[in-house]
Structure 1
Amino acid sequence: MFNQLAQRKQIPAQPAPLRIRQARHDDAAAVLRLAALDSSHVPAGDLLLAEVGEELWAAFSLEDGHAIADPLRPSADAVLLLGQRARQLHKAQRRASRGNARLRFAH
């Protein structure tokens, strides 16, 4: 009997990794659904998205920091990661713009 129970037991699959990417135009419908789930509005401007597998868990505005997330998923960490990535991108953009300014005035 023990062997039969052991054979029927299914080992859970590995959870899908979290992927962060910039939103594209074809993500609009998924972001609208996510905003409705979160009882919020769609964040303004360019968005970063957090996906697990093929599912959208969170979105974060690079313009104003407004975030939306799926309340039915453990998405709080995804929102935090999106915020950290947005800060990294903002810092890199400032460094690049300062570097370009130095190049213009170096002549």
Structure 2
Amino acid sequence: MNTLTIRSATTADAAALARLAELDSREIPAHPLFVAELGDQLIAAVSARDGAAIADPFTRSADAVELLRRRADQVAARPQPRRRLHLSGHGFRIATW
């Protein structure tokens, strides 16, 4: 049984992404990317920026693309911390809450 892993792409994925793009006859989508691995093989990648996808056409990867898009939406919806500039006797500092 193979396990599907969803994770952020790293520089170590460059060759696998190039192979995947070639199989799908597309360009590698804009970074940052989320990728899906089935076992130890990259089967899909989705841009967190615009949702563009590449996938292995010889593998059942449609569900993986959907999961990747959901993950990208989750990350995009995460609220960014609010920052406020404080002036103290020693200069400025940024507070996050």
1:33 aligns with 2:36: no
Higher helix share: 1
Pick from 39, 48, 60: which aligns with 1:62?
A: 48
Q: How many residues are treated as equivalent by the alignment?
A: 87
Structure 2 unaligned runs (5+)?
86-97
1:53 aligns with 2:39: yes
Pick from 40, 63, 82: which aligns with 1:100?
A: 82
Q: Which 4+ residue blocks in structure 1 deviate beyond 3 angstroms?
A: none
Q: TM-score scaled to structure 1, two decimals?
A: 0.76
| Distance in 1 between residues matched to 2:12 and 2:38, nearest whole Å | 18
Percent of aligned positions that are identical: 49
SS at match of 1:19: strand
Higher strand share: 2
Deviations 1:35-67 (A, max 9, x none): 000010001111000001001010000111110
| Distance in 2 between residues matched to 1:88 and 1:64, nearest whole Å | 13
Q: TM-score scaled to structure 2, two decimals?
A: 0.83
Pick from 72, 90, 99: which aligns with 2:76?
A: 90
Structure 1 unaligned runs (5+)?
1-14
